[in-house]
Amino acid sequence: EVQLLESGGGLVQPGGSLRLSCAASGFTFSTYAMSWVRQAPGKGLEWVSIISGSGGSTFYADSVKGRFTISRDNSKSTLYLAMNSLRGEDTALYYCAKATDTGLTDYWGQGTLVTVSS
Amino acid sequence: DIQMTQSPSTLSASVGDRVTITCRASQSISSWLAWYQQKPGKAPKLLIYKASSLESGVPSRFSGSGSGTEFTLTISSLQPDDFATYYCQQYNSYPIFTFGPGTKVHIK
């Protein structure tokens, strides 16, 4: 059974930093691209970033480019999102998600909440 | 960038109703479209992929159709468990994804 468990969320001041983690199990982690998707309170889904199975390719939404860094440790089956220069508009529930080889997002974690506020 | 729109943004329906939600892409995405259901406090759940393929375990009352720029999600007979928000997502431009803004299905 595929399981994705996010952690690392919390309250952070504007301009601060946070690192999210996503522990994966139930599939061969290194084979699949992984994404982060966020959802601001009461709002829709926003794709944030994706990383290839090897970790060699990364892509970002314009809204986070230059501030967020996605990475992975395939030996630990863990995905990361380092978030710097955080802003109020980054406040959201952050989901870790698995992609198939065609790019379909087929499994989601339960999310970790990031609140940016002074 | 490919933009996605959905209509309606909200709809009120009764148990047993046939419900149709439309998703439109700003350019052709072939059939690279997925539909997700999200309930409050829960992660999205995959319902339909490649525009019309039903995910394993999803009830057959859900169906998808369309290609190119216009797509529909149909619930043939709305059940109490179906009151939720539905999102479309294009993955034609993978590794870049875009979600639609969502359609909330309310109880009438």
Q: How far is B15 from chain A (nearest CA, A)?
A: 25
pLDDT for B107 equals 86
pLDDT for B13 equals 95
Contact B34 A105 (CB under 8 A): yes
pLDDT for B69 equals 98
Contact A59 B91 (CB under 8 A): no
Contact A33 B95 (CB under 8 A): yes
* Local structure of B16: helix, strand or coil: coil
pLDDT for A48 equals 97
pLDDT band for position A103 (cuts 50, 70, 90): confident
Collect all residues of chain A within an 8 Å Cβ-Cβ radius of residue B42.
110
Say if residues A4 and A81 touch (Cβ distance below 8 Å). no
Tokens of B24: 């439109």
pLDDT for A101 equals 86
pLDDT band for position A117 (cuts 50, 70, 90): very high
pLDDT over 70 percentage in chain A = 100
Tokens of A59: 């892509």
Tell whether A6 is within 8 A of chain B (Cβ): no
Number of H helices, E strands in chain A: 0, 11
pLDDT for B108 equals 83
Q: Report the length, in residues, of chain B.
A: 108
Interface mutation target, options A48, A60, A104, chain B, most CBs of B under 10 Å: A104
User: pLDDT per residue over A6-40, tens digit each?
Assistant: 999 999 999 999 999 999 999 999 999 999 999 99
pLDDT for A102 equals 87
Collect all residues of chain B within an 8 Å Cβ-Cβ radius of residue A99.
94-95
Average pLDDT over residues A50-63: 95
Q: pLDDT 10s per residue in chain B (108 long)?
A: 899 999 999 999 999 999 999 999 999 999 999 999 999 999 999 999 999 999 999 999 999 999 999 999 999 999 999 999 999 999 999 889 899 999 999 988
pLDDT band for position A91 (cuts 50, 70, 90): very high
Number of H helices, E strands in chain B: 0, 11
Tokens of A53: 């199975």
pLDDT band for position A76 (cuts 50, 70, 90): very high
pLDDT for A28 equals 97
